Structures are given as C-alpha cells and as structure tokens.
C-alpha cells in the first residue's frame, strides 16, 4: 500500500472518531453537563482497551505519513490555488494533531487531569492562553474541513460527478468554518456561564508560573 493510499484509508478510520468528537462539541451548546454526559457515553467506544491504542496509533501514523506527503509535494513544487489550499490546510491539521495529542498525553497521563469540557474551556477562559487558543481551535477545525474538501473535490473531478466538485469543496469548507465558530463560542462561554473548577484554575496558574502542578 502506498503512503497516499494509506493516508486516505487512515483518514476514513479517523473520520469516525472525528464525527464522535464533533458530536460532543455540538452537544456542548446545551451546557457543560450535556457535553460531559455525551463525552462519557462516547468514551465507552473510543476509550476501551481495544479501540484506544488503535486510535492513538492511527493519529501518530497520520501525522508521520502526512508530513512525508507534504515534504514530497513541496519538493515537486506546489502549483495552483487548489494545491496550495490542500498543502497549507494539511500542514495546519498536522500541527494541530501533533500539539493536541501531546497536550492530551501530558494532561491525562502525566498530570492526571480529566480531559472533559473544562480542559479546552480552561485555556479559553482568558488571557494569556486565549490569545493563542482562540485562533488555534478555529484554524485547526476549519483547516480539517478545507483539507477534506480538497480531497473530495479531487475525487469528484475524477468521476462522472465532476460538476459537483466545487459545491462539495465550498460546502465542506462552510461547515468547517461554522463548526469552528460554534466550538469557540461554546468554549468561551457565549451560550452559558463557565465557572472553572478549582483544580483547573490551579493547573492554569501552574503553567503561568512556569511549572506544572
């Protein structure tokens, strides 16, 4: 199997988890309890001893192979706006996944924090973290859908449904931007008041002070 073919099949596998993950975030519009209840229910699927190691391995492989494909593309030369959209969005997605996975590892397995609603909401609660994480979450989510849109567009162009290729790209991009806005609004408390637990306040203060509790 070529790296590109593996990248596509692995993306399909990760897509199942991403759908569940976004379902959790959309549920968060209805409150913190709704978010955490949905997350706890879905964790039965992706945090069991069989699925979780496969999921983590899938993410690591996607980062590694995606980086390899980006380097290969850059060496061959990037030509045209669609190629640039695919490469730039792919780079943003890889950077997002790498940081998100490492942050999860530290928070969950090193510091023993429950990475529920308060994990992303804590860094969106105010300065200085929000200055970085507001565009971080927006670009990460939007770039994912742009990258997906580029792939779907290319598949449609090579099929008898080529006339739908532009609509597919812009439709997916629009969904991604809307999703990114909703997630940011939810995590910043636009729909309800967010009172961080004392443990998360202490955790953030530790980072500001230059150490992790």
Quick one: pLDDT band at residue 60, thresholds 50, 70, 90? very high
Mean pLDDT of 148-172: 95
**Residue 213 reports pLDDT greater than 50:** no
Task: Provide the pLDDT for residue 207.
Answer: 74
Eight-class DSSP state of 80: S
Name which of 133, 12, 136, 105 is nearest 62 in CA terms. 12
Backbone angles phi, psi at 30, to 5 degrees: -90, 5
Please give the Cα distance from 177 to 8 (Å, whole number).
22
List C-alpha distances in Å: 70 to 13, 58, 64, 142.
20, 18, 10, 19
Q: What is the mean pLDDT of the chain?
A: 92
Task: Provide the pLDDT for residue 85.
Answer: 94
Quick one: pLDDT band at residue 93, thresholds 50, 70, 90? very high
Mean pLDDT of 110-115: 92
Mean pLDDT of 166-189: 97
**Residue 157 reports pLDDT greater than 90:** yes
Mean pLDDT of 39-64: 92
Those residues whose C-beta lies under 8 Å from the C-beta of residue 28, and which sit 6 or more positions away, are 34, 35, 117, 183, 186, 187
Mean pLDDT of 79-92: 92
Quick one: pLDDT band at residue 210, thresholds 50, 70, 90? low
Please give the Cα distance from 20 to 41 (Å, whole number).
10
**Residue 211 reports pLDDT greater than 60:** no
């Amino acid at each position: 199997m070529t790296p590109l073919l593996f990248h596509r099949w692995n993306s399909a596998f990760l897509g199942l988890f991403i759908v569940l993950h976004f379902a959790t975030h959309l549920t968060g519009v209805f409150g913190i309890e709704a978010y955490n209840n949905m997350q706890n229910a879905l964790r039965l699927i992706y945090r069991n001893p069989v699925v979780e190691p496969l999921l983590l391995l899938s993410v690591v492989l996607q980062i590694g192979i995606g980086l390899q494909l980006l380097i290969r593309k850059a060496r061959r030369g990037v030509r045209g706006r669609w190629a640039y959209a695919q490469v730039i969005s792919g780079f943003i997605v890889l950077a997002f996944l790498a940081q998100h996975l490492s942050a999860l590892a530290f928070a969950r397995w090193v510091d023993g924090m429950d990475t529920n609603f308060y994990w992303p909401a804590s860094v969106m609660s105010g300065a200085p973290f929000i200055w970085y994480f507001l565009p971080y979450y927006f670009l990460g989510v939007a770039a994912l859908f742009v990258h997906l849109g580029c792939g779907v567009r290319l598949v449609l162009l090579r099929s008898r449904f080529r006339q739908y290729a532009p609509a597919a790209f812009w439709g997916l991009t629009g969904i991604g931007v809307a999703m990114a806005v909703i997630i940011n609004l939810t995590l910043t408390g636009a729909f309800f008041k967010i009172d961080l637990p004392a443990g998360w306040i202490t955790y953030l203060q530790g980072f500001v002070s230059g150490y992790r509790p």
